[in-house]
């Protein structure tokens, strides 16, 4: 089983007891972040009585300010603290920065470390990115007497995670215990996969909102959503590539379906800025620099068009649309498909019945808009594209031989369906924005919002106020998700399991 370490980050000594109990219940190892405690001059004697009740494994940490410590304890204060530590139980560890480890090992200014070196984690953190001197840092750590070495750095792009996986392989070959993590949203894959690739542990927060490092997820997510205890070298990997990716419900839906089907597989969010770089170095079977069983990818904004240049074969429909939202690894090649079109049209067909001759306004001119326009045109609908960007909107209209207008009109009267394909309304900074108001939507039969998080966007609320029928993006997400699952696994997923997990997530 993967070991999940849950940090305890409290200010008051009196809160330690309950926090330790909660962390022990959530994970396998408890980390006491002594730098969070409101102590003028920390000493192990102050903590010893509070820690006596800990039954399981424990890590004691006093982080320095330069490496995200939550106190101003300087080098001398930290040296005195570690010098005050007495003999510890065999399953307890201490986390010291590399400079302290080297000084204690030299036995000069720092003095003798009163701890078995096998219980020492020698750590280095970089919150700015991959260290320029990464190799030198790793070499110094290998030379230290510490039983475990730990490197954590901020990942700017998914490809940065290669450093983590390569480090794990190299440390394993040298017989060293190692903890390696890429922080930030782009590093999430390392938190999920590192234990299966030899990492001594991974870190999970005790609860949402209690994270103490960028990109950290909860221990329960690692166990229940990503099923980290079941991941091994034979696990098939699927995921979604985009930027940003944190709002996506696809991991919840697909992981629930994979678990229900009893498959040794996991679906992971991959925060990717440079998609060409990612496909070449991490995804394509012929060029990837990582030995993993990556079998399929969902593709979301802004990569649906750019990714096409990286693929070996593209389905004719996706080529016509000019966007790919699904990739399948097959016989050493990457094949691209657009399942957005089918996912979009199926709920609309069910709601309207006959779509032929329906007057449809599609707002937006990105990859999702391409799929919608292509699907509507194939159904015989009359389509008009509305976009603020004249060049992009006019190009798309000519591409599909449909009408184009700039998004300046006062009313959508005369249209049967208005579709929002833009990100306006998405959870976060755009949540209170809408492409159309109730006044503009009067006399429109149906409003269809492809945004699914939140489930009721401002656009949907405006449409309901105008008396429109509405369709939310969750229906399209489900339809294309089912199609992806079948393409990747050859199996029919449990649709109701996928729906329930998506709705539970949206409803909190």
Domains and CATH numbers, the chain: 4-233 (3.20.20.70), 238-338+487-506 (3.40.50.10860), 341-471 (3.40.50.720)
Q: What pLDDT sits at residue 86?
A: 84
For 267, other C-beta atoms within 10 Å of its C-beta total 26
Structure tokens at 73: 């304890």
**Is beta strand 326-330 parallel, antiparallel or unpaired with respect to 333-337?**
antiparallel
Do residues 91 and 118 touch, judged by C-beta distance below 8 A?
A: no
Q: Render each residue's pLDDT in the chain as its tens digit; 508 residues.
A: 799 999 999 999 999 999 999 999 999 999 999 999 998 888 898 888 888 878 899 999 999 888 777 878 888 889 999 999 988 999 999 999 999 999 999 876 556 788 899 999 999 999 999 999 999 999 999 999 999 999 999 999 999 999 999 999 999 889 999 999 999 999 999 999 999 999 999 999 998 888 888 889 999 999 999 999 999 999 999 999 999 888 889 999 999 999 999 999 999 999 999 999 999 999 999 999 999 999 999 999 899 999 999 999 999 999 999 999 999 999 999 999 999 999 999 999 999 999 999 999 999 998 889 999 999 999 999 999 999 888 999 999 999 999 999 887 779 999 999 999 999 999 889 999 999 999 999 999 999 999 998 889 999 999 999 999 999 999 999 999 999 999 999 999 999 999 999 999 988 7
Q: Which residues contact 77 (CB under 8 A, 6 or more apart)?
A: 41, 42
In terms of residues, how long is the chain?
508
Catalytic pick among 304, 398, 486, 491: 304
Angle between helix 162-173 and helix 134-143 axes, rounded to 10 deg: 30
C-alpha 397/C-alpha 404 separation (Å) is 6
What is the rounded CA–CA span in Å between residue 175 and residue 495? 45
Does residue 304 have an active-site annotation? yes
Q: Directed axis angle between helix 98-106 and helix 134-143, to 10°?
A: 40
Residue 138 DSSP SS3: helix
Q: 32 and 16 in contact (C-beta within 8 Å)?
A: yes
Question: CA nearest 227: which of 263, 272, 183?
Answer: 263
Q: Which residues contact 441 (CB under 8 A, 6 or more apart)?
A: 412, 418, 447, 462, 463, 466, 468
Phi-psi domain of 215 (left: phi exceeds 0; alpha: psi -120 through 50; beta: other)? left
Beta bridge partners of 297: 239, 327
Q: 228 is written with which tokens? A: 């980290």
Write out the DSSP string of 429-480. Answer: TTTT--S--TTTTTT-SEEEE---SSSS-HHHHHHHHTT-EEE-HHHHHHHH
**Residues 344, 342: Cα–Cα separation, whole Å:** 5
Edge-to-edge strand list for the sheet holding 265-271: 265-271, 236-242, 293-299, 326-330, 333-337, 313-314
Instruction: Report yes or no: 144 and 105 within 8 Å, Cβ to Cβ.
Output: yes
Using DSSP, state whether 216 is helix, strand or coil.
Answer: coil
Tokens 């800990």 locate to 54
- Which of 296, 342, 353, 337 lies closest to 475, judged by CA? 342
Considering only CA atoms, which of 288, 234, 224 is closest in space to residue 270?
288
> Between β-strands 417-420 and 359-363, what pairing exists: parallel, antiparallel or unpaired?
parallel
> Which two structure tokens, joined as six digits, stand for 77?
């204060």
Residue whose pair of structure tokens reads 């170095």 in the numeric block: 281
């Amino acid at each position: 089983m993967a070991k999940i370490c849950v940090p305890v980050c409290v200010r008051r000594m009196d809160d330690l007891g309950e926090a330790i109990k909660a962390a022990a219940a959530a994970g396998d190892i408890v980390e006491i972040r002594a730098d969070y405690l409101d102590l003028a001059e920390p000493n192990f004697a102050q903590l010893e009585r509070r820690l006596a009740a800990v039954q399981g494994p424990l890590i004691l940490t006093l982080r320095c300010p330069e490496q995200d410590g939550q106190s101003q304890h300087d080098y001398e204060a930290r040296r005195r603290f570690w010098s005050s530590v007495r003999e510890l139980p065999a399953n307890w560890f201490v986390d010291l920065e590399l400079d302290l480890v080297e000084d204690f090992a030299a036995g000069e200014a720092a003095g003798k470390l009163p701890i078995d070196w096998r219980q020492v984690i020698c750590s280095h953190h970089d919150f700015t990115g991959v260290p320029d001197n990464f190799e030198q840092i790793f070499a110094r750590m290998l030379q230290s007497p510490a039983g475990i070495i730990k490197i954590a750095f901020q990942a700017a792009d998914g490809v940065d995670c290669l450093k983590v996986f390569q480090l794990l392989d190299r440390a394993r070959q040298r017989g060293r215990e190692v903890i390696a993590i890429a922080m930030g949203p782009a590093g999430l894959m390392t938190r999920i996969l590192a234990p299966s690739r030899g990492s001594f542990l991974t870190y999970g927060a005790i609860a949402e909102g209690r994270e103490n490092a960028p990109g950290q997820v909860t221990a329960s997510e690692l166990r229940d959503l990503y099923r980290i205890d079941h991941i091994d070298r034979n696990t098939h990997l699927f995921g979604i590539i985009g930027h940003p990716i944190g709002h996506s419900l696809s991991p919840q839906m697909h992981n629930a379906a994979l678990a229900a089907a009893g498959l040794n597989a996991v679906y992971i969010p991959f925060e990717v800025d440079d998609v060409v770089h990612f496909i070449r170095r991490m995804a394509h079977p012929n060029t990837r620099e990582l030995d993993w069983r990556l079998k399929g990818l969902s593709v979301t904004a802004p990569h649906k068009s750019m990714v096409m240049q990286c693929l070996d074969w593209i389905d004719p429909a996706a080529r016509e649309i000019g966007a790919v939202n699904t990739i399948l690894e097959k016989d050493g090649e990457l094949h691209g498909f657009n399942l957005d079109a089918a996912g979009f049209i199926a709920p609309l067909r069910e709601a309207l019945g006959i779509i032929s001759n329906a007057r449809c306004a599609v707002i937006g001119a990105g990859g999702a808009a391409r799929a919608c326009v292509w699907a509507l045109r194939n159904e015989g609908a009359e389509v008009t594209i509305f976009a603020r960007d004249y060049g992009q909107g006019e190009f798309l209209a000519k591409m599909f031989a449909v009408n184009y207008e700039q998004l300046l009109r006062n009313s959508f009267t005369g249209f049967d369906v208005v579709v929002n394909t833009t990100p306006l309304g998405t959870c976060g900074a755009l949540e209170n924005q809408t492409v159309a108001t109730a006044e503009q939507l009067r006399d429109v039969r149906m409003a269809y919002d492809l945004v699914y998080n939140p489930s009721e966007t401002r656009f949907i609320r405006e449409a309901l106020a105008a008396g429109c029928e509405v369709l939310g993006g969750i229906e399209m997400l489900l339809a294309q998700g089912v199609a992806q699952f079948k393409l990747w696994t050859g199996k029919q997923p449990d649709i109701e399991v996928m729906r329930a997990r998506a709705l539970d997530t949206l409803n909190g």
